[in-house]
Amino acid sequence: MALERVQKILARAGLASRREAEEWIREGRVTVNGQVVSLGAKADPEKDAIKVDGKRVKLDSRLRYVLLYKPTGVVTTSEDPEGRTTVLDLVRTKVSERVFPVGRLDYHSEGLLLLTNDGELAYRLGHPRYGILREYLVKVKGLPDEKDVAKLKKGTVIEGKRVVPKEVQLVRTTPKQLNSWWRVVVGEGKTHEVREFFLRIGHPVQRLIRVGIGPLRDEKLKAGAFRELAAEEVEALYRAVGLKPAKEARHGRTTGTGLHQKAGGVRAGKTYRGSAAGAGRSGHRQAGLKRKPSGHLA
């Protein structure tokens, strides 16, 4: 096998995202054949002894791609020091591999979240360079006027950088216009960016639902439920970030697509209820919103 960058090997092993793996290398936690490596070092995962904190790294050829509807009151981390329910708690009864969430949904937000051990795909989905858009349905207090909407569309400065939404569209208002629902598409992935957009025009967010991740959509998935992606969905994600799917994945001969799982595993197309599902509302259906699949919002 050809030499690969060590951070890419760690990500492909499902241990962390590539960014997290790079941080481990900077911290001196990664060795190759007994030597601490620096960022940019390469190795052969079949021949070299790659270790993190002294533990040997083993590549798992079984890639998993799980689409979860994260309810409110669940944290998007692998572990939580406060003992709160994590997204991994919801899927662990059916997913034995070590997967990790791609991107973030904050504690009070809900909606679609991808969990995977495909580190390269996760890295590209989260990097602004690849232009993967996220679509949200957002309920805010009151109804922003034209001036507020114009200001919102110009974006705002978050973490020292101006962030501009790709699309902003009014969906509907509630009786007497006490609240309003908006469709917002973003590409930056800054922390709390959608909430900040509306907060800074004086209309705080009351509910936030992620309904799209690049080409991924699922209007039937309920809060706390999850399913394995179908092979076509994995291929769509690969195309969206400029990757070429492995031959096995293209032809459905790998368990990574969920097409040939053993009994008890997650099967593509079959929905499972999380073991600690938390809130039970069902996204845009509970919001009274009807949507047609819109595909990739490029």
* Catalytic residue numbers, as ranges: 106
User: CB–CB of 76/105 below 8 Å?
Assistant: yes
